[in-house]
Amino acid sequence: MTIWWLGLIITVLAVATIGFLWLALKLNAILKNQNSITQDKLSSSLDKAAEKDVEHVFNNEFREELRNRGRLYFEKIIGDNAMFLQQDLRLTTSQLNDFLKDQITKTLKDEFSKYEQSISDAKQLAVESIQKTLASLENQRTELANQIKEEVFRDKDKLVSRFEQHMTEILNHYILEAIGDQVDLSDQLEYIFADLEANKEAIIEDIKNGI
Amino acid sequence: MEFKLDNSIYKLAQLRRITFELGLLISKIEQNRITNDQYQEDQANFGLELNQLIELNNLDRNNISDLQKLKDFLEQIGNHPAVIHFSFNQEADPFTLQKLVSYARENIYPNVLITVGLDPSIVIGCRIRTTNKYFDFSLKSRLKQKRKLLLDKINALQGLSNE
């Protein structure tokens, strides 16, 4: 029962509040309309009065003066702006120049450094290649020298062994060429007789067998 | 009767020629005997060698029997000749050949005959060929025999030079 009464009371209060608010808003709107109508009337009357007095204050000379002042001011502003523009332009140009210079210098430096690096790499490669070539040439030279040495020794041994094998013929030929025509047969008789004496028995036996 | 062969007679062909001449002489003497003509000694008709041979053996030129024996002796040598062939590196002069023949007949065989050939490869010495054997008395053969000695000497010299 109590809750019902409480709810009812609250409902009534709410409705009353809403009604009151609606009423206030309505009244406010009506008042505004009335004020605006009043202000419009006031401003229009003031405008009319101002128009009448303008001709009196702003005459042709005053206007001309104003125009001149405006022109001067405008020119001054234009000149100032032009000066500022020129300064700004110069500054910008110099900044641009510096920037370009820096950029170009930087780019060139980079390129030159790359070029230098590539040259040094190529030089290093060339040096390594030359060193390898030299090393291989040295190896080949050593091998060739050893081979030649072996060949020479082999040929020498061959020559020596051939000489030893044919030494008798060589000496015989040499003596024949050297003194072959100078040795008389009569000078050799002693040598021949000595050999005959040494082999006498065999010769005699063979002769007797032959007869 | 022992006969000797002159040292100037050393070739078989020579011997046979002399034998033939001796035969002619004998038949000449016999002819003269048959015809009762006096045999006139005519040494010019016969070779020097035959004359030397007759003189060497102290024979009478008119004695047919001695001459016939001499002829038989020569024929016997000619039928079974003892020949030694000598090869030299040059032509042998007659003087040297006579010495050789003299030595051979004194030391080897009394009636040996020799033949001579040329072998330019022989520098010093000679090569001898008998009936069945061959003897090399050349310098080359001597060098071959002494080869080891020469090699030893060369090796010794090489060792010295290396030091």
The predicted complex's ipTM stands at 0.77
pLDDT digits (tens, 9 = 90+) for A118-168: 999 999 999 999 999 999 999 999 999 999 999 999 998 898 888 877 877
Instruction: Write down the pTM of the prediction.
Output: 0.54
Among A157, A192, A205, the strongest candidate for a mutation testing the B interface, having the largest count of B CBs within 10 A, is: A192
Distance from CA of A157 to the nearest CA of B (A): 14
Residues of chain B in contact with residue A164, where contact means CB-CB under 8 angstroms, are 151
For the sheet containing B134-136, what is the strand order? B113-118, B83-88, B127-129, B134-136
B150 burial (CB, 10 Å; 0-12 / 13-18 / 19+) is middle
Per-residue confidence (pLDDT) for residue B39, from 0 to 100:
53
Q: Which of A11-20, A90-99, A186-195, B28-37 has the lowest mean pLDDT?
A: B28-37
Q: Residue B148: CA atoms inside 13 Å, Cβ hemisphere, count? A: 1
Q: How far is CA A66 from CA A74, A81, A99, B39, in A?
A: 12, 22, 47, 204
Which one is predicted more confidently, A132 or B142? Answer: A132
DSSP state of B128: E
| Centroid of chain to Cα A78 | 51
pLDDT digits (tens, 9 = 90+) for A65-86: 999 999 999 999 999 999 999 9
Q: Where exactly are the structural domains of chain B?
A: 12-79, 83-147
pLDDT band at A47 (very low <50, low <70, confident <90, very high): confident
State the residue for tokens 């045999």: B39
- CB neighbourhood size of B21 (10 A): 18
Distance from CA of A195 to the nearest CA of B (A): 6
State the residue for tokens 């060139």: A108
